[in-house]
A and B are shown apart, each in its own frame.
Chain A
Amino acid sequence: MTTEPLEPAPRGSAVTEWFSTRAGGILVPLAATVLAFLIGGLVVLITGHNPLSAYKAIFEGTGLNWFFPWVSGDAREAAANDLQQTLILMTPLVLTGIAVAFAFRCGLFNIGGQGQYWVGFIAALYVGTNFEGLSRPLHILLALLASIVAGGLWGGIAGLLKATVGAHEVITTIMLNWIAIFGGSYLVEIGGPLQGPTPSIPRSDTVFESAELWPIWGSLPSLHAGLFIALFALVVYYVLLNRTTLGYEVRAVGFSPEAARYGGISVARNYFLALAISGAFAGLAGSVDLLGFKSAVSTGDFSTNLIPFTGIAVALLGRNKAVGILFAALLFAALEVGTSTRQLDPEVFEPALATDLATMIQALVIFFVGAELLILYIWRARTLLRGRPVAQPELRQ
């Protein structure tokens, strides 16, 4: 950045102020989502379906219509079931979203959610399949803590490498993903140390009932208490960032490492802590899934789980804000559930196509959020046409 100030661009108008603060926060994600659905609808139209009825069917598949008071009877029953699935999926998305967002706030890109998720998962699996006879709250707590510590350590390795030798976290976390995935498969593989009771099946033991999270709603499978853990984690995330000296340091380093250093903040230490804490949230996502509804794991599960990657999308769309993460997680969970084979009426729209549509919309949302500048440019073009200059968007290190 240059040091000589330009003659300051005139500012202070209500419109520009509103746009730069409020709009940067809400307008861009909202516009990105709307655009993505519009383009998705166009594709549906081109393939010879009615986009409105397709979207309606998908929406009904998400169970979000449960919130409409006029839905009653069987429809309400079905909506409840669907909504439970949406919320079950939203739970780990919130947690992995937080994981990515926390690292982002320190200026780091944690792609290692997958590895941290599985390391947390395995740690919780170990606790959950041992220690028979512990009281339920204690057993659950122990398993959750194990996953937090394990995920934190896994993230911390990347953090330590970044802090000490400057190894780029994108590279190290990707590598750590593969180590966790193959390490996890090895553990539950036939003959592996955590393989379950059936010698011919590469699947772990099932966790004891005393380690299972309490069901809170429904039964197919039921929504579990992990939802509360995720919501609580959002509060922790917000408080940690905004109400603690640690959060202050993390944000300072994230915005400007040079200014942070000048302020007496150790940049290296915060890189380590941010990745460790980020990993802890991702690890917690693993245990919440395990103790909430999975109960066990097969070798095949490791490579097919994309929840931590969707977490990146959640953080991006949610703008690293607690409330944003909540809604972004809900959107992506709903989209996935609404287009799943079980939920969608094949008369309206083939579920196979719908799944692709969901992935496409997801990608488009991320594309448009990432292309924030594009949206800003569209906005600026409008104002320029009206003959008003708008401050250049400044690119920062």
Chain B
Amino acid sequence: MANAPLLELRGITKRFPGVVANDHVDLELAKGEVHALLGENGAGKSTLMNILYGLYHPDEGQIRLNGKRIRIDSPRDAIDRGIGMVHQHFMLIPVMTVAENIVLATEPRKGPFLDLAGAEERVRELSTQYGLAVRPEAKVSSISVGMQQRAEILKALYRGAEVLILDEPTAVLTPQEASELFTIIRSLQEDGKSIIFISHKLNEVLEIADRITVLRQGKKIDTVPREGATREGLARLMVGREVVLRVEKPPAEPGETLLLVENLKVLDERGLEAVRDVSFDVKVGEIVGVAGVDGNGQSELIDALTGLRRPSEGRILVAGKNITTANARECLDVGVGHIPEDRQLRGLVLDFTLAENLALHDYEKEPSSKWGWLYPGRLVERAARLLKEFDVRGGRPQTLAAALSGGNQQKVVIAREVSRDPRILVAAQPTRGLDVGAIEFVHRRLVKERDEGRAILLVSFELEEILSLSDRILVVYEGRIVGEYEPGVTEEELGIAMTGGRERAA
């Protein structure tokens, strides 16, 4: 990168009431470079990019494009100067086609009429050029998330973006989609486009970036070239201390079978069979990982195990007790703990205080209550203890759950589930959206719970998580278990099984 930078941010400072989100941050982007912006949630990555995209105005500092100082007051300005952004949450209108979405607000005309055919043609060209494989005439609501993301990229390219900001682009993708995205990024790079890639995932940053700038608490910590960068080194820059990335865990010592599932069938909302004849067991002191691409029956399986959905056939036994038709309360009472997939929708009542949330499973039992009479003081006392034990930051017992960051919300959920002393812990996507520090905490805690004699069923879409935590791995595909693996299995092998490859081969 010897050539002069295409884009330069110098001393960017942005203060919000009570917080300095960006503190004199510098960033240089060369033409044709993929530059990763790495940092934990809240490190100021998105703020910085929103400044570049004209959504915020910096309090101090300057932006230079091709050496000239520029001012970006709105996304419109940014687009006019060739800066495009793909947000984490897509800004597409589901009922419209890809092409219609792309030309929105810049509709090409033929006389007074909308020239949709011309637009589709142009979109198709761009799509082919960069290997995006998006059909312009497809309705957004009918295409996959990965495809929607590519439509967003197309939208930016269509508007003439030379600099493309991708905000946590892989957060919503399957491993396959992510690797396809990387191919696309490379082809954009070859064509001379410059890309800023926001992420908190070390592996993908090391895979795709030419240079990596690390932010921590609003400050630029360092910019390092990929050559010579290591996961450990980056994690240290990000978190500011040594982080144990490898989960240290002694070998499992499985005991008696605690959870036994036999020939389970579960229907989804539409009445279709989502779990098809699944049988497995989980023993005391082991972590069984369930790997699979989202939507292959995992949610329905979890719901059935935790009493939130009644199976259509089969049996579920917990320590010999049949809970096949039990409701949620009864499942809780026999000792099934559940870290739900969606902590904001399910795991927490966001408008409840932390104390109230921590009582969600036992508010009707002593000592939380007696004869229907609630003791809020006791809830607060217990909450204070748990928040301390589980290192929940940014909240007191009386704080509303909604006010916590994702990582701390997850700690509250885990605190509640673990402190009930369950026999079985069903952990669904327990580290989704968390940053390195919080992931480390959750992983350690799960191993600790295993070693204390619980049976743990871990459902995750992150192969890395499955591989590093599980003592046994089950792969689900289209509602069936298509394979059982030892933890030594490679990601590739699992990836093939997850997409049904193994079944086809068999």
Contacts and interface: CB of A to CB of B under 8 A. Distances in A.
A5 B363 contact: no
A316 to B, nearest CB: 18
A304 interface: no
A259 B41 contact: no
Interface stretch (B103-111, B230-238, B367-375, B452-460): B367-375
Interface in B26-61: 41-47, 56-57, 59
Interface stretch (A50-58, A66-74, A244-252, A322-330): A244-252
B53 to A, nearest CB: 13
22 contacts: A5-B406, A8-B42, A10-B19, A12-B18, A14-B18, A243-B373, A245-B364, A245-B369, A245-B373, A245-B374, A247-B374, A248-B374, A255-B349, A259-B360, A260-B349, A261-B308, A262-B328, A262-B346, A263-B361, A264-B332, A264-B360, A265-B329
B16 interface: yes
Contacts of B403: 11
A259 B363 contact: no
B352 A4 contact: no
B170 to A, nearest CB: 11
A244 B373 contact: yes
Contacts of A8: 41-42, 405-406
A53 to B, nearest CB: 44
B327 A259 contact: no
A185 to B, nearest CB: 40
A242 B376 contact: yes
A16 B374 contact: no
B342 interface: yes
A256 B432 CA distance: 21
Nearest to B407: A5
Interface in A258-277: 258-266
A387 interface: yes
Nearest to B432: A3
A261 B338 CA distance: 13
Nearest to A21: B400
Interface residues of A, number: 42
A110 to B, nearest CB: 20
Contact of B18 (A2, A6, A13): A13
B360 A243 contact: no
Contacts of B369: 244-245, 248
Instruction: Give the top 3 A-B pairs by smallest Cβ distance, nearest first.
Output: A13-B17, A264-B329, A5-B406
B356 interface: yes
Contacts, number: 129
A262 B347 contact: yes
Contacts of A389: 16, 56
Given A7-B42, A246-B372, A256 B350 contact: yes
Contact of A7 (B46, B332, B350, B373): B46
Contacts of A14: 18
B487 interface: no
A3 B344 contact: yes
A262 B88 contact: no
A6 B55 CA distance: 15
Contact of B17 (A16, A244, A394): A16
A4 B433 contact: yes
A7 B328 contact: no
Interface string B392-412: 000000000011011000000
A245 B372 contact: yes
A16 B19 CA distance: 12
A242 B398 CA distance: 14
A1 interface: yes
Contacts of B89: 2, 4, 6
B88 A4 contact: yes
B172 interface: yes
Given A6-B46, A264-B327, A264-B328, A259 B346 contact: yes
B486 interface: no
Contact of B363 (A1, A4, A245): A245
Interface string B327-358: 11100100000101110111111111000100
A252 B332 contact: no
B171 A4 contact: yes
Nearest to A262: B346
Given A244-B374, A264-B327, 18 more contacts: A3-B341, A5-B405, A6-B46, A6-B88, A8-B41, A8-B42, A10-B16, A14-B18, A245-B364, A247-B374, A255-B351, A261-B308, A261-B328, A262-B328, A262-B346, A262-B347, A263-B361, A389-B56
Nearest to B369: A245
Interface string B43-82: 1111100000000110100000000000000000000000
A264 B171 CA distance: 31
Contacts of A263: 328, 349, 360-361
Contacts of B341: 3
B336 to A, nearest CB: 11
Residue among A11, A262, A266 with most chain B CB within 10 A: A262
